[in-house]
Structure 1
Amino acid sequence: MAQESRFTIKAVRSFIIGGVGSGGDYHNVKGGHWLIDSDISTPCSRWEQFRKSRTSWGINVLGSFLIEIESVDGTVGIATGFGGPPGCWLVHQHFERFLIGADARNTNLLYEQMYRASMFYGRKGLPIAVISVIDLALWDLIGKLRNEPVFRLIGGATKERLDFYCTGPEPTAAREMGFWGAKVPLPFCPDEGHVGLRKNVEFLRKHREAVGPDFPIMVDCYMSLNVSYTIELVKACQDLNINWWEECLTPDDTDGFEQIKRAHPTVKFTTGEHEYSRFGFRKLVEGRNLDIIQPDVMWLGGMTELLKVAALAAAYDIPVVPHASGPYSYHFVFSQPNTPFQEYLANSPDGKSVLPVFGDLFLDEPIPTKGYLTTADIDKPGFGLTINPVARAKLIPSTYLLTPPPVPTLSTPAVAAPAEAAPAEAAPAEAAPAEANASEQKEANGVVEKLSEKIEQLTTSTPA
């Protein structure tokens, strides 16, 4: 057996993030937030009852969670993502077996083991998103143990300044905040017919007129269009100088991008936010019908897999501009030569101010308050994030969900110790079992109370 080192993993812990507005689930926000309650075309917009709010069809159903990975010397790596209770279940019931006792530096090995072990039910979606958060926590741990920021571990700085565009409801606000461009969500879907298409054109024209002819505007179609509608919409907007059209088609319609690119060869198209692993990106890159790919490091497989996707894209000279993901993306983009800029996803309710992407979860999350960041802003060990004590108080250990302590039966009498085992002067110790039962009962009651609070938060905090 290899000699134990300070990089050896001793423990893995996971937490559900109570309340709303914190952590890696971008959509776990309060009602009235632009991100969930604006007119946004989605895959479910074809049904009228699901057009008013994205929470109506469950976009925030999983919630956020947090992982801690502790090495034998007590150093702790942390990361957040989306997955909630199901994510925590996968961490401990499946993936933990590959981590305990392993060397945290073996990120390629650990990724491959988790990916291949979950292949029979995973490959995409939640299992890979959970692996992503584990992987990010490993990189945070390695950086802390080596006292280096992650971007220096994965290649060092390729740029001293990182410029951002802003995804939000108002391009004029993005320009005023110092961002180089703005991305807006498309409001109407193909099922709303020619009237909806005309409203989409009017919506984009209004924003173009507000910011002038040269300020870059991008359009997020969020998997909601089809080939024919995309071709028609892009043609109708050809005089609006749209910088790119994003995620026009569903993730599985990779052949459709060839058709829309053939129809509009000089127009830029992007996608990748909802794709997973290097295998998922291979066809997107090899087709050469995309001008930019946009993987999400908290979803596609973590930093370990994102580096492989970036190398694949670089071989085809396709830029990589990650989807959101806050500081995790920032470290990646600073380190790679084919990553020209980064997205900032506006986290304020009205989308018109710059707030931390992960809410109040961390004390020191770097944010592009002037539309950019420098290497000095992220030059801290690991990802440079510290859990906010206020947010930690809202963390619910997943042990409460996975292995709740038994609730003692109140009618069961305490069992006294045999007389010969307790000398006369120690007689008061006979009450210890009853005290222990009372303590266990109190702990169990606390578990039930916390779970009840969490259920109430999940069911009432973001009404549809």
Structure 2
Amino acid sequence: MKISDITIKSFRTTADRFDTGYARPMPDTPMMQTLLTIHTDEGVEGHYFGGGSHGDAEGLNVVDQQAILWRIKDLLVGQDPMDREMIWKWMWVANVQENVASVIDNALWDLAGNFANLPVYKLMGGARDKVKAYASTYPNIGKPQVYADHALQCKKEGYIAYKIHPHYFWNPETGTPTPGRPSNIKADIETIHLVREAVGPDYVLMYDPWGTYMSLEEAIQVGRELEKL
């Protein structure tokens, strides 16, 4: 079996998104989606949906599509689609950006599952039939108390853990976006204390500041508060 073609279908759709600049939901936001398909000479196909910003939430942009159809396709046509590790190494050596390489890799896994008539998790070992789920926020969902209320709501809905993305590219005092990543140490520390108080001492909490702190001292200051909680 050999790879015979790679195609990408683009289409318009809508999805519920969140405006991190103004802490507000954006229901039915128009966006472009993509479906990538790897074809073979035996008729077996592998698909991947999305691949742009936030993973599956948005499609591949035009530049990424061109990289796949004009460069990666030439590397892969005629190759065995089961040689996933070799193909990944080719893309890595060629400095293919990771989201694009991941789209190809996932489509190859889907193709292997279709060929074997098995779900991919079975091909990878199938040790579990369920996984634990946790709730994760967008950044800037609101002022500190909003995080606490949201965490408690998620706990009541059955999530066993909660991850905070705090305030960045945003001013929590004014509720407006800011350029760069100014640190919001005061609001972030208030947030983590209020969330812990809301969900109780034993609930699992996580924290993802995404490199927002501008100095080692700031990172340590927040880290010490996380350590207490």
User: TM-score per shorter chain, which class?
Assistant: 0.7 to 0.9
> Does the CA-based 8 Å contact 1:69-1:78 persist in structure 2?
yes
Question: Unmatched 5+ residue regions in structure 1?
Answer: 1-6, 22-28, 38-50, 54-61, 242-464
Shift of 1:173: 2.3
Pair 1:9-2:3 in alignment: yes
In the alignment, structure 2 segments of 5+ residues that lack a partner are 24-30, 53-59, 138-146, 170-180
1:184 match: 164
Provide the alpha-carbon RMSD of the alignment: 2.5
Mapped to 2, the partners of 1:77 and 1:220 lie a distance apart of 33
Aligned partner of 2:195 among 185, 207, 210: 207
Asked if 1:85 corresponds to 2:73, the answer is no
**Contact between 1:11 and 1:69, CA under 8 Å: does it hold in 2?**
yes
Greater strand proportion? 2
CA distance in 1, matches of 2:47, 2:2: 15
Give the structure 2 partner of residue 364 of structure 1. none
Deviations 1:41-98 (A, max 9, x none): xxxxxxxxxx547xxxxxxxx9653210112232221013113211110111100012
Question: 2:46 touches 2:111 (CA, 8 Å); kept in 1?
Answer: yes
Question: Where do 1:58-457 residues align within 5 Å?
Answer: 64-80=33-49, 81-82=51-52, 83-116=60-93, 118-119=94-95, 122=96, 127-154=97-124, 156-168=125-137, 170-187=150-167, 191-192=182-183, 196-225=184-213, 226-239=215-228, 241=229
Tell me, in whole angstroms, the C-alpha distance in 2 between the residues paired with 1:93 and 1:10: 15
SS in 2 for 1:162: coil
3-state SS of 1:13 partner: strand
Q: Amino acid of the residue matched to residue 207 of structure 1?
A: V
Q: 2: CA distance between counterparts of 1:138 and 1:238?
A: 42
Q: Secondary structure at the match of 1:205?
A: helix
For the structure 1 residues 136 and 188, does the alpha-carbon distance in structure 2 shift closer, same or farther, using more than 3 Å as the test? Answer: closer
Q: Aligned with 1:14: secondary structure?
A: strand
* Aligned-partner Cα distance in 2 for 1:110–1:236: 45
Q: Determine the C-alpha separation between the residues in 2 that align with 1:185 and 1:228.
A: 20
Quote the residue 1:288 is aligned against.
none
Task: Check 1:63–1:84 CA distance in 2 against 1; reply closer, same or farther (3 A cut).
Answer: farther
Distance 1:198 1:63, change over 3 A: same
Following the alignment from structure 2 to structure 1, what is the Cα–Cα distance between the partners of residues 91 and 220?
40
Say whether the 8 Å CA contact 2:10–2:35 is kept in structure 1: yes
**d(CA) in 2 for partners of 1:227, 1:146:** 50
Identity fraction in percent? 21
Q: Distance in 2 between matches of 1:90 and 1:197?
A: 40
The aligned residue for residue 378 of structure 1 is none
SS at match of 2:88: helix
CA distance in 1, matches of 2:217, 2:34: 39
Task: Confirm or deny: 8 A CA contact 1:171 1:217 kept in the other structure.
Answer: no
> Based on CA coordinates, which of the two structures has the bigger radius of gyration?
1
Q: What is the number of residues matched between the two proteins?
A: 192
Once the two structures are TM-superposed, the CA of residue 141 in structure 1 deviates from its matched residue by: 0.6
- How far apart, in 1, do the equivalents of 2:68 and 2:227 lie? 47
1:183-202 CA distance string (max 9 Å, x none): 0111258735xxx3222222
Deviation at 1:17, TM superposition (A): 4.1
Displacement of 1:11: 1.8
The structure, 1 or 2, with the larger RCO (C-alpha pairs under 8 Å, 6+ apart) is 1
